[in-house]
Amino acid sequence: MANSASLRALPGLLPAAAAVLLLAARVANLERRLHQADRCDLTGALRRNVFTVRAEQFLDRYGDNALIAMVDVDAFKQINDTAGHAAGDQVLAQTAARLSQWAGSRGIVGRLGGDEFVVATYAGRNRRVARLQQLQRLLCMPVPHGVHHSIDVSVSIGSATSDTIKNATYSRLLRAADVALYRGKHSGAPMVAVASDAEVPSVNGRRLGRPGTALLTAAAGGDAR
């Protein structure tokens, strides 16, 4: 009798089960779309605003063992002009993939825009130099393009840590890493920020002296901070 009652109830349970499965599929689809919205379509790196939030959380969690590194692909316009935009896209995508590989499971990678990336990773004081040198070598490996071709790549890297930079918010660490990067531009060596790098004037969060900041300064009436 119990089995007969269960069988009679089965038709009524099927629509409910189907509704639960449909809801689960919709939730999964929404989560996937939200995840995609957080990331750059081309590279898969976090978008700037999303990375900023995650980086602040990362700093709160790892403190002095957190390292912020900014990466700029050298002569990227020349890659686009000589090898084509598809090749340039491949360089950007491969750079993001290599940054993710280097950062590891605890790290995060963001795209600031154009050919500029930022990464936050765990790096103890005794291993920072070796880790940054490893990153330089990794990012400067030729990028495969097509069947028998590759693209030579070079990058500039600047890094900053909260045990060197006072009042080390993410914004100040990024500014210091930016200054360090441009101090060593095209040197072939990763640069580490010093305390004074965080005090360099900026315009709208960009280091004063970078392309475009002169126009921003003029529009603001010469106000740089």
Nearest to 182 by CA among 222, 122, 174: 174
- Per-position DSSP letters for 14-55, written without gaps between them: HHHHHHHHHHHHHHHHHHHHHHHHTB-TTT-PBPHHHHHHHH
Q: Looking at residue 148, what DSSP letter applies?
A: S
Catalytically annotated residue among 64, 72, 115, 178: 115
CB 45 within 8 A of CB 111: yes
Could you give the C-alpha distances from 137 to 32, 108, 130, in angstroms and in order?
A: 34, 19, 11
CB 176 within 8 A of CB 167: no
Type of residue numbered 167: N
115 is catalytic: yes
Type of residue numbered 155: V
Question: Catalytic amino acids?
Answer: 115
